[in-house]
A and B are shown apart, each in its own frame.
Chain A
Amino acid sequence: MYFLLAWRNIWRNKRRSLITILSITFAVLLACVMRSMQLGSYARMIDNSVRFYTGYIQIHKQGYWNDKVIDNSFEYDALLQKKVSHLQGLKLDVPRLESFALASFQSQTKGTLVMGVDPDKENELTRVKEKIVQGTFIKSDDDGILLAQGLAEYLNAQVGDTLTLISQGYHGANAAGLFPVRGIARFPLPFQNNQLIYMALPKAQWFYAAPGLVTSVSLLINKPDNTDRVVAQLKSEIDAKVYEVMGWKELVPDLLQSIELDNISGKVMLWVLYLVIGFGMFGTYLMMTAERKYEFGVMMAVGMQRLRLQAVIFLEISMMTTVGVLTGIILSLPILTYFHFHPIHYGKEAAKAIESFGVEAVYPFSLDPVIFTNQAYAIFIMAIVLSAYPLWTIYKMNPVESMRS
């Protein structure tokens, strides 16, 4: 009967209860949409960023990250490959041998970043083929190279031309060779577009006199949220004195910082929204308490313990909050689902500007369950905090004075 009493009490002032429930509903709906857009864009930013270059996780020889020289390369041997392949949720491992070289064509010379890669795996991670503007991508047994467009323009090199590369190989060995240009690709970020050269991994190992060696192995995993767990698993399985394992948060700290900063501003907006709704809810509780002081007094007079009366009132508040939160979530679900599968595309000019930073010009929505649960928690916590007023009033209530009011 207490449940019935609470439920009927909600509807004794239909208009006020409906306004309160609707305000909660719209707060949850708005909060879900806002958070979904934010989290969706973060996921896309992270995905874009890691697919750009780093992967979600990288394995290096211990010390490589602070001193990126070819002497800090390591052998990606069968044992390490086996351990990596057993990682939960691993989609792809991408070995690379990276170093610098002086590239020369005719009278032009420029410092470059040479990346020895497994072409198929590299393409799966960074989708480099989509960036090719001339010629073709290299093959795994290729002895040619893929040039970044800015670099090609500087060197006045075309597909079919042959570049001379000179560098220092592993442990000081001389590195020099002639490499025909197979293709030219345009990279969105200037530092890549002006200096990047892709080379097949065996050819790069030959060039740098580093047979079987790589400077990094980038990993792509199914669920980015599992990065920390996979890093921890990997660290526990390999020799931490020999290898260093880094997640994307360490690899691209700038991205993490910008996400955190944006996240804070999003949360501030959410709290402003909650605050506005909170005042509305508090107004309802205030009115409800004032209107029913007499009734509360009677109930206590006839023998209802304060705690039981408080429980009924708390039940009323919880029911109202639950109906509002559930309705908000139910209404937001189809909207978020639609925009998750049909993300918003930017207009042409905005899209161009965004794409120039190497980011896809779409605004995807996230369907992460945490979006819904967090709004529910926030509203419920607020309801609990605000319910302190009627509960305190009942606690302090004198039945005679209440009935006299």
Chain B
Amino acid sequence: MATLIQATEVSKVYHKTTVPVNALNGVTLRIEEGEFTAIVGPSGCGKTTLLNILGGLDHPTQGKVEIDGTDITTMKDSDLIDFRLHTIGFVFQAYNLIPVLTAKENIEFIMLLQKKSKKEREIRAIELLTRMGMVDKANQRPGELSGGQQQRVAVARALASNPRFILADEPTANLDSTSASNLLDLMAEINREQKATFVFSTHDQRVMDKARRLVTLRDGAIISDITR
């Protein structure tokens, strides 16, 4: 399979007041197309930082990240935003749907940013909501949905832009076990059927069990990389 993400010698140093904190220490990681990878480790090990850097949300202090051969660490801010819009789908821990838009509008919103036509947006949004088993909730706002339902909409939103891969930061952290299990099954299904690439950060054992590849971080460095 083709290499989708290539992180080489990535380091990240945060300066909290005057004390430098090494969040990542020379991480090198390659992710192929169609992978279902979990980045795991204890709190503060650098999972979210790595995910942010892989997603172009943050810049590494050293090293580089290539997505489909494009070095995103040297990109201008506005180019990076466009790159994210067309290449990466995000699922956040706290769902992060736009509270004033309905489930369907939240999904459409990403496609609106991509300047897709109204008709195209509507068809795709309904298709994704159907896929998530949420079509009957299309016109409800996030506040009217449960955590699990909101996260399904968030996954649908991440898929709406037809991204090259999806980054999910602790997607099940706020969900009860049933909702978490359902969500993971759904994502695994999408991964199998559509060959969509998923990269998670998690310390949830249920996510780790579902992942086919486990990358373990400790103190900002990869200590194990197991493919099952």
- List residues of chain A with CB under 8 Å of any chain B CB: 1-2, 4-5, 8-9, 11-12, 294-295, 298-306, 308, 399-400, 403
Contacts and interface: CB of A to CB of B under 8 A. Distances in A.
Contact of A5 (B58, B92, B96, B100): B100
Contact of B100 (A9, A294, A306, A308): A9
Given A303-B84, A303-B113, A304-B113, A403 B92 contact: yes
B98 A5 contact: yes
Given A1-B105, A303-B161, A399 B82 contact: no
B81 A300 contact: yes
Contacts of A303: 81-82, 84-86, 110, 113-114, 161
A305 B81 contact: yes
Contacts of B99: 12, 295
Contacts of B161: 303
B64 interface: no
A288 to B, nearest CB: 13
A305 B90 contact: no
Contacts of A308: 113
B170 interface: no
A301 B97 CA distance: 12
6 closest Cβ pairs, A-B complex: A303-B85, A8-B100, A298-B96, A400-B58, A303-B84, A400-B57
A353 B113 CA distance: 69
Contacts of B77: 306
A305 B78 contact: yes
Contacts of A295: 96, 98-99
Grouping DSSP codes into helix (H, G, I), strand (E, B) and loop, the B interface class, with mixed when no group exceeds half, is: helix
Interface of B: 52, 55, 57-58, 77-78, 81-82, 84-86, 90, 92, 96, 98-101, 105, 108-110, 112-114, 157, 161
Given A5-B98, A12-B100, A301-B84, 12 more contacts: A1-B112, A4-B101, A4-B105, A8-B100, A295-B99, A298-B96, A301-B90, A302-B110, A302-B157, A303-B81, A305-B81, A400-B58
Contact of B109 (A1, A8, A300): A1
A9 B81 CA distance: 23
A299 B109 CA distance: 10
A377 to B, nearest CB: 30
B101 A5 contact: yes
A302 B101 contact: no
A63 to B, nearest CB: 70
A298 to B, nearest CB: 4
A298 B82 contact: no
23 contacts: A1-B105, A2-B112, A5-B98, A5-B100, A5-B101, A8-B100, A9-B100, A12-B100, A298-B92, A301-B55, A301-B92, A302-B110, A302-B157, A303-B85, A303-B110, A304-B81, A304-B113, A305-B78, A305-B81, A305-B82, A306-B81, A308-B113, A400-B52
Nearest to B167: A301
Nearest to A6: B100
Nearest to A292: B99
A303 B58 CA distance: 14
A313 to B, nearest CB: 13
Contacts of A403: 92, 96
Contacts of A306: 77-78, 81
A401 to B, nearest CB: 9
A302 B100 contact: no
A302 B90 contact: yes
A302 B78 contact: no
Given A5-B98, A9-B100, A400-B58, A302 B112 contact: no
Nearest to A308: B113
A317 B102 CA distance: 22
A38 to B, nearest CB: 42
B95 to A, nearest CB: 10
A301 B110 contact: no
Contacts of A300: 81
Contacts of A301: 55, 57, 84, 90, 92
Contacts of A9: 100
Contacts of A294: 96
A172 to B, nearest CB: 88
Contacts of A399: 57
A403 B51 CA distance: 13
A305 B86 CA distance: 12
Q: Which residue of A4, A294, A302, A400 has the most chain B CB atoms within 10 A of its CB atom?
A: A302
Contacts of A299: 98
A2 B84 CA distance: 20
Contacts of B86: 303
Contacts of B55: 301
B160 to A, nearest CB: 10
Q: Which residue of A1, A301, A399, A403 has the most chain B CB atoms within 10 A of its CB atom?
A: A301
